[in-house]
Amino acid sequence: MSEEQVNRVLNLERRFEDKPVLKKILVSGEVSINKLAKIASIATNKNQEELAGLAKILPCRALETLARDERRQALSESVHVNTNPQQSLLTVNLLAHLDYDLQKDLLERQKKGININQLLKDLLKKHDEELAQEKQKLAEEENRRAEMRNTATGAREKIPATGAHAKKPSRYIPAKIRRQLRKEHGTKCSIRTCQKPATTIHHTQRLALSQNHDPNFLSPLCREHHAIAHSIDRTYWKKRRP
Ligand SMILES: [Zn+2]
Ligand SMILES: [Zn+2]
């Protein structure tokens, strides 16, 4: 072990002084120093057991994401964030994304005395309502399909010795539903604070149980949040969803 590594271990040992569960897996070498260093900032005497379990199964990058989420969550709960749009860089960045024609159009409307803030709010609201309706329609279709599949399977199972052919839902998510998710979440991970590209559409209810691709229970996730989603209990999950 190099001197630097020794120092890292000593430093972690100190931080885990009141967290014996974490200290134990550090000293025994059961979990790497790199992994434990990622979660040290969020470790408490209370959550040490849970974190130790996660450190054993999650890759380093997922642990890093987990710790970042946890710190952000703590921050948003304790600090009042100033969200005055005039003072925010957000406004400047956003304008740069609008086409020149659109900026001109909005400006002309504003000059005529039209409340363009209200106009945009109304349009977004209408858009969201349409998306929600579309999602509901797709969900109903999906559930109907699953029901039909189950009925067909049930009928077949009544015939002796053919139960083995019971039909399972395909893992393939229909294009219509993928398009809907894309409209709702864009191309990024659906965790509110995450900006990473989505790599997987995760079933928040296990496909084997739900037997369908109801879009209400689908979430596009980045690689790290997907790993976290499969390793963590549902209370954590609920807390983080938008
Ligand atoms: Zn998944
Ligand atoms: Zn993510």
Q: Do residues 140 and 227 both lie within one domain?
A: yes
Residue 111 is assigned to a structural domain of this protein: no
Q: Do residues 135 and 235 both lie within one domain?
A: yes
Say what the pLDDT of residue 171 is.
79
Q: Do residues 141 and 221 both lie within one domain?
A: yes
* Ligand approaching nearest to the C-alpha of 201: 1
Find the 177 Cα to ligand 1 centroid distance in Å.
16
Hunting for tokens 């100033």 — which residue is that? Answer: 82
Q: Do residues 68 and 131 both lie within one domain?
A: no
Collapsing DSSP states into helix, strand and coil, what is residue 221? strand
Q: What is the dihedral of CA 92, 95, 100, 105, to 10 degrees?
A: -120
Q: Which of 36, 51, 77 is the last residue of a domain?
A: 77
Residue 58 is assigned to a structural domain of this protein: yes
Q: Do residues 151 and 214 both lie within one domain?
A: yes
- Strand 218-221 and strand 200-203: the pairing is antiparallel
Q: Do residues 137 and 225 both lie within one domain?
A: yes
pLDDT in single tens digits along all 242 residues of the chain: 788 888 999 999 999 999 999 999 999 999 999 999 999 999 999 999 999 999 999 999 999 999 998 888 887 776 555 555 555 555 556 777 888 899 899 999 999 999 999 999 999 999 999 999 999 999 999 989 888 877 776 555 444 444 444 456 677 899 999 999 999 999 999 998 888 999 999 998 877 677 789 999 999 999 999 999 888 755 555 566 55
Find the 228 Cα to ligand 1 centroid distance in Å.
9
* Ligand approaching nearest to the C-alpha of 194: 2
Find the 195 Cα to ligand 2 centroid distance in Å.
7
Find the 54 Cα to ligand 2 centroid distance in Å.
17
Angle between helices 116-157 and 100-111 (to 10 degrees): 120
Find the 184 Cα to ligand 2 centroid distance in Å.
16
* Ligand approaching nearest to the C-alpha of 223: 2
Q: Do residues 32 and 134 both lie within one domain?
A: no
Say what the pLDDT of residue 75 is.
76
Q: Which of 77, 100, 135 is the last residue of a domain?
A: 77
Residue 14 is assigned to a structural domain of this protein: yes
Residue 85 is assigned to a structural domain of this protein: no
DSSP 192: T
Residue 63 is assigned to a structural domain of this protein: yes
Q: Do residues 133 and 47 both lie within one domain?
A: no
Residue 107 is assigned to a structural domain of this protein: no
Q: Do residues 144 and 235 both lie within one domain?
A: yes
Total structural domains in the chain?
Answer: 2
Residues with CB under 5 A from ligand 2 (ion): 189, 191, 194, 196, 222, 225
Residue 86 is assigned to a structural domain of this protein: no
Find the 48 Cα to ligand 2 centroid distance in Å.
23
Residue 117 is assigned to a structural domain of this protein: no
Q: Do residues 71 and 140 both lie within one domain?
A: no
Angle at 129 between CA 125 and CA 135, to 5 degrees: 145
Q: Do residues 139 and 222 both lie within one domain?
A: yes
Q: Which of 45, 77, 109 is the last residue of a domain?
A: 77
Angle between helices 223-231 and 60-78 (to 10 degrees): 80
* Ligand approaching nearest to the C-alpha of 199: 2
* Ligand approaching nearest to the C-alpha of 202: 1
Q: Do residues 67 and 146 both lie within one domain?
A: no
Say what the pLDDT of residue 4 is.
87
Find the 135 Cα to ligand 1 centroid distance in Å.
20
Tell me the residue range of the domain where 73 lies.
3-77
Q: How far apart are the first and last CA of the chain?
A: 44
